[in-house]
């Protein structure tokens, strides 16, 4: 069993324009284990993406206080590739497009990155694994010969993120708004992919605005973030309640003093 612990995490980003630092996360605490699915919900601008990017190691986010422990070991000083090889995966909201590198070539490099030099995956095994996962996601083989994310539609990009998840088999997947821009059919396919990973050796942190995704990937734990902190934690029913009452309702219930970005 693997664990991911976030302890009193404070994170700043530097505004490129005026070179001022802004604190986004103001003391996040969270512990998850493999076998569990956690959902993180919260209004816009509350630090959900910052949390996932910081755990993965995006260099623009600076940890000013607190720690992130993967299986008891602090990872805050590790480069992103090392964190990935230790078992973290981030399904991104805006995956980069890379011309000239085929999806298949990239997937193989990613799979092999976690394996020892003398234990690289054979072409046959790789293709077998690829075919199986393409079938789960209802993706055509032609997708693997296209350049990485180049010219992919929003839905294709999201599917491709999940394809990578299935190929890489991380311990923890952070999925950042994997449902945004998906129609209902694509949402089902993506959920099917994540559910295929569910088991004792896999945990996931799913960041979403909408309860709808959680009908397909039922979480064990739901956290609500506001103003850079987790303000409430509950089970799947919390998400349903939120759907009814909205974030403003919850905020007022909890008597928290934060402004919501989209509040009129």
Residue 14 or 233 with smaller CB distance to other proteins: 14
| Strands 88-91 and 73-74, bridge-based pairing | unpaired
The 10 Å CB-count burial string (b at 16+, else e) for 94-118 is ebeeeeeebbbebbbeebeeeeeee
| Strands 3-14 and 61-70, bridge-based pairing | antiparallel
Residue 39 or 111 with smaller CB distance to other proteins: 111
Instruction: Find the shortest distance in angstroms from Cβ 29 to other proteins.
Output: 24
Nearest alpha carbon to residue 37 among 225, 163, 240, 207: 207
> Which of these segments, 51-59, 183-191, 204-212, 218-226, binds other proteins (CB under 8 A)?
51-59
Q: Does 259 bind other proteins (CB under 8 A)?
A: no
Residue 24 or 84 with smaller CB distance to other proteins: 84
Which position among 27, 35, 66, 95 is part of the footprint of other proteins (CB under 8 A)? 95
Determine the Cα–Cα distance for residues 250 and 247; give it in Å rounded to an integer: 5
Residue 113 or 254 with smaller CB distance to other proteins: 113
| Strands 147-148 and 172-176, bridge-based pairing | unpaired
Which position among 26, 127, 147, 256 is part of the footprint of other proteins (CB under 8 A)? 147
Determine the Cα–Cα distance for residues 132 and 242; give it in Å rounded to an integer: 37
What value, to the nearest 5°, has the Cα angle with vertex 183 and ends 96 and 175? 45
Read off the tokens for 57: 């190691």
Instruction: Find the shortest distance in angstroms from Cβ 245 to other proteins.
Output: 35
Which position among 26, 33, 35, 58 is part of the footprint of other proteins (CB under 8 A)? 58
| Strands 147-148 and 98-102, bridge-based pairing | antiparallel
Q: Does 52 bind other proteins (CB under 8 A)?
A: no
Residue 21 or 109 with smaller CB distance to other proteins: 109
Instruction: Find the shortest distance in angstroms from Cβ 108 to other proteins.
Output: 10
Q: Does 96 bind other proteins (CB under 8 A)?
A: yes
252 contacts 245 by C-beta, under 8 angstroms: no
Q: Does 89 bind other proteins (CB under 8 A)?
A: yes
Residue 165 or 182 with smaller CB distance to other proteins: 165
Q: Which residues are near other proteins by CB under 8 A?
A: 56-59, 79-81, 84-85, 89-90, 92, 95-96, 98-101, 105-106, 109-110, 113-114, 147-148, 164, 168
């Amino acid at each position: 069993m693997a664990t991911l612990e976030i302890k009193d995490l404070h994170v700043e980003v530097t505004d490129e324009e005026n070179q001022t630092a802004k604190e986004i996360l103001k003391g996040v605490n969270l512990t998850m284990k493999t076998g569990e699915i956690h959902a993180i919900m919260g209004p816009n601008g509350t630090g959900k993406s910052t949390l996932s990017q910081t755990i993965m190691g995006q260099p623009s986010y600076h940890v000013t206080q607190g720690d992130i422990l993967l299986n008891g070991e602090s990872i805050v000083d590790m480069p992103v590739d090392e964190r990935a090889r230790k078992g973290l995966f981030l399904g991104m909201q805006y995956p980069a497009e890379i011309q000239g590198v085929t999806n298949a070539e990239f997937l193989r490099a990613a799979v092999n990155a976690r394996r020892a030099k003398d234990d690289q995956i054979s072409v046959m095994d790789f293709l077998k694994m690829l075919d199986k996962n393409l079938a789960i996601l209802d993706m055509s083989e032609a997708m693997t010969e296209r350049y990485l994310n180049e010219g992919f539609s929003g839905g294709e990009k999201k599917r491709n993120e999940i394809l990578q998840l299935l190929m890489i088999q991380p311990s923890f997947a952070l999925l950042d708004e994997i449902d945004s821009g998906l129609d209902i059919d694509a949402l089902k396919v993506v959920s099917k992919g994540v559910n295929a990973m569910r088991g004792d050796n896999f945990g996931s942190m799913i960041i979403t605005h909408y309860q709808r995704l959680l009908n397909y990937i039922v979480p064990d734990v739901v956290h609500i973030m506001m103003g850079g902190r987790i303000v409430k934690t509950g089970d799947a029913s919390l998400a349903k309640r939120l759907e009814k009452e909205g974030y403003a309702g919850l905020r007022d219930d909890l008597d928290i003093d934060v402004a919501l970005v989209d509040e009129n």
